[in-house]
Amino acid sequence: MSNNITTNAAPSGAADFRDVATAHTPFRTWRLLLWLVIAIVVVDFGWIVANNENFGWPVVAQYFFDPTVIQGLYVSLGLTVVGMILGVIVGLVIAIMRMSSDRLASGFASLFIWFFRGTPLLVQLIFWYNMSTLFPNLSIAIPFGPTLASWDTNSVITPMTAAIVGLALNEAAYMAEIIRGGLISVDRGQAETAEAFGMTKARALWRIIIPQAMRSIVPPTGNQLISMIKATSLVSVIAMADLLYSVQSIYNRTFEIIPMLLVAVLWYLLITSILNIGQNYIEAYYGRSDRRNAGAPKPVAVTEEASH
């Protein structure tokens, strides 16, 4: 009893148990219980899905690496990559036009964004695909003057070009707004400093503004890329043999609809998971100047480590 009182009163004794290094976490019963419930539900659901014959897992396994499916996968990935790259390039141009003080440029950019964001992608794809009904011939000509070259529209707009143009322009409209948001987020003083140092506008944009804007551009672009992969499934309506189209072509023969759709779903999930991981590394790269731990002034080493 008396011992207890002395411990409380003596500052040296008090310091012992007040040192946070000695702190422990009490056992949290409710949390454990919640964990258990969730785990049981998840495992049970997995069990049901795995043992339900209607899912046709053996069929899924059989067709997972089927050449038709892999071919479709390549088409989907190819369309995503090409559409995204073109979308980012056109989007950057549109974003810069939108921010320019030139009325004509910013007006055109607004119109572009308004139209391509305001109409369904599916409709845009069908329009591009059926271009020949609107314009039977495509020609290069001097306005109100002579024609220099002319092509039959159907020979230029294949399902492939219709798909690429449709996806890229639609993507560009969204990317333009994402990029513009990123550029605006950079402190105005940066552009002014670059200007004061005699940089041209293009160089200031490329070296100073865009690298800083990347921090706010990358996360939504990751989103866009993932929705782009899924958006490529829309091109199956214009007879482009993408992943979805190829599993459809198989189940039209075998009538194993659910298993074949599962093949597509698993592939889409796999790709988006890989992209998520990639996005994390890119974000870490553009956030590197944020680390305050001055002890490690070797940013390159950090990113190299991260890529292992």
N- to C-terminal Cα separation, the chain: 59
d(CA 147, CA 172): 30
Which one of the spans 100-108, 131-139, 167-175, 197-205 is the region binding other proteins (CB under 8 A)?
197-205
257 contributes a contact to other proteins by CB under 8 A: no
For residue 281, state whether it binds other proteins (rule: CB under 8 A): no
Residue 117, interface with other proteins (CB under 8 A)?
Answer: no
Q: Which is nearer to other proteins, 163 or 194 (CB)?
A: 194
DSSP H helical ranges for the chain: 2-9, 11-18, 29-51, 57-64, 67-99, 103-118, 121-129, 131-134, 153-156, 159-185, 188-196, 201-203, 210-231, 243-254, 257-286, 299-306
Question: What gap in Å lies between CA 180 and CA 94, rounded to an integer?
Answer: 9
> By CB under 8 A, what part of segment 128-157 binds other proteins?
none
CA angle, corner 171, sides to 228 and 157, nearest 5? 95
Contacting residue, 134, 294, 305, 307, with other proteins by CB under 8 A: 294
| Only segment of 79-87, 88-96, 150-158, 193-201 that touches other proteins (CB under 8 A) | 193-201
**Residue 151 pairs with which residues in a beta bridge?**
138
For residues 170-189, which are near other proteins according to CB under 8 A? 187, 189
Q: Cβ distance 256 to 247 under 8 Å?
A: no
Which of 18, 28, 117, 207 contacts other proteins by CB under 8 A?
Answer: 207
Q: Which among 59-67, 141-149, 151-159, 191-199 is the span making contact with other proteins, rule CB under 8 A?
A: 191-199
CB of 46 to other proteins, least distance (A): 45
Question: Residue 197, interface with other proteins (CB under 8 A)?
Answer: yes
Is there binding between residue 305 and other proteins (CB under 8 A)? no
Neighbours of 69 (CB within 10 A): 20
x/- string (CB under 8 A) for other proteins, residues 33-72? Answer: ----------------------------------------
Question: How many residues bind other proteins, per CB under 8 A?
Answer: 27
List 196, 277, 305, 308, residue binding other proteins (CB under 8 A): 196
Q: Does 303 bind other proteins (CB under 8 A)?
A: no
Range list of β-strands (E), the chain: 137-141, 147-152
Q: How many separate helices (H) and strands (E) can be counted in the chain?
A: 16, 2
Give the Cα separation of 208 and 113 in Å (integer). 26
Is 117 or 288 the residue whose CB approaches other proteins more closely? 288
Nearest to 239 by CA among 150, 116, 157, 142: 157
206: its two tokens: 């490329």
The backbone region for 234, taken as left when phi is positive above 0, alpha when psi lies in -120 to 50, beta otherwise, is: alpha
Contacting positions for other proteins (CB under 8 A): 187, 189-190, 192-193, 195-201, 203, 207-208, 211-212, 286, 288-292, 294, 297-299
